[in-house]
Amino acid sequence: MASLSAALDTNSVRESARNLVYKIANGETVYIGGYYALNAAGYLTEPTDTAGVRLLGIIQGFGGGAADAGGALPLSVAGDTSASPVPEAIVDVESKLINDIAVSGASSIADVGSAVYLSSDNWSADLTLTPTTNLPPIGFITKSNSATSFEVYLYSAAEALALAKQPSYLKATLHTTVLEGSASANIAQIKPPHAGVITAIYSRPTGFDAGYAAGDQSCSLMVDTGAVSGGVIRLIESQCDAIGDLDAFTTATAVTNTSGNAEFSAGSLIRVILAASGTGFTAAVDTVSFEIYIEYTELPS
């Protein structure tokens, strides 16, 4: 690193970064006016709900050999990464307001402020309140015109990238004494500091005791009064009866955000619920606990 000792040449610095150019993914047909994203390899693609996809914006035109044989600018282009030059698209990456648009799941002024999602290139028909698994929201509702007409603020690519954070974690610690019973019970609860959607659950023992001879319990999650679909974690005595267990994580069954039941708000109550009819842990000499990690992706409040 070195501080400046002379003025810099700024000829390479653009005044505006509104329209950016991206190479189109191989075999991907993209359309002017469609909303697109970057795939994990850095090529322009439809914003499918896939890990590694990053939201960008609306295509305004094409470059990189995209004109047709007659020289006219086309309305759609298919990607061909073996071509020279590779077809490119010009994408408007700034924020926008879209008025008089339907949003699936929205029906009244009570939906103003709700996050809006998209998992296709057709923003004019496929906006929805149903959260995607891998993509952040594309924007939020700013105004209700009627039960079928809304104004939506679309995030800029920079805002969408800021929302596409790496997963964060909430943690609950369960002493094995709370696992000795076999009746349904609320055995831990957490108040998150901000909004999010639960994506996975893991457990790990903090110690071990070879004296455990029995224990097989299932725990599930609730957000406020609603059960989270999937996400059942099984805690077994064999997971904490040897020193080698300290380096092992147990993964729950897959969490699915069915009708938003894996979402929580700042101040929601997330509960760990012990299922009934399990096999209680036998008492042991040493103090052993399970750490329960609740993985989530942050959402706008």
Answer yes or no: do 157 and 263 share one domain: no
- Tell me how far apart the alpha carbons of residues 199 and 80 are, in angstroms, rounded to a whole number: 35
Could you read off the pLDDT of 24-40 as tens digits, one per residue?
999 999 999 999 999 99
Q: For the chain, what is the domain count?
A: 2
The pLDDT tens digits for 129-145 are 987 877 888 999 999 99
User: Which of 164, 188, 208 marks a domain boundary?
Assistant: 164
Whether residues 174 and 277 share a domain: the answer is yes
Three-state SS for 125?
A: helix
224 and 127 co-located in one domain: no
Point out the domain boundary residue: 164, 182, 214. 164
Q: Indicate whether 7 belongs to any domain.
A: no
43 with 98, same domain?
yes
270: domain CATH number?
Answer: 2.60.120
Q: Measured between alpha carbons, how far is 35 from 57 in angstroms, rounded to an integer?
A: 5
Q: Are residues 98 and 46 in the same domain?
A: yes
Q: What would you report as the CA-atom Rg of the chain, rounded to the nearest whole angstrom?
A: 25
The partner residues of 251 in beta bridges, in order of sequence, read 202
Q: How far apart are CA 159 and CA 55, in angstroms?
A: 9
| 36 and 152 inside one domain | yes
Indicate the pLDDT class of residue 297, thresholds 50, 70 and 90.
confident
Domain that holds residue 180: 168-298
Is the pLDDT at 66 greater than 60? The verdict is: no
Give the end of a domain, one of 114, 149, 164: 164
Q: Check whether residue 198 and residue 104 sit in a common domain.
A: no
286 pLDDT above the threshold of 90: no
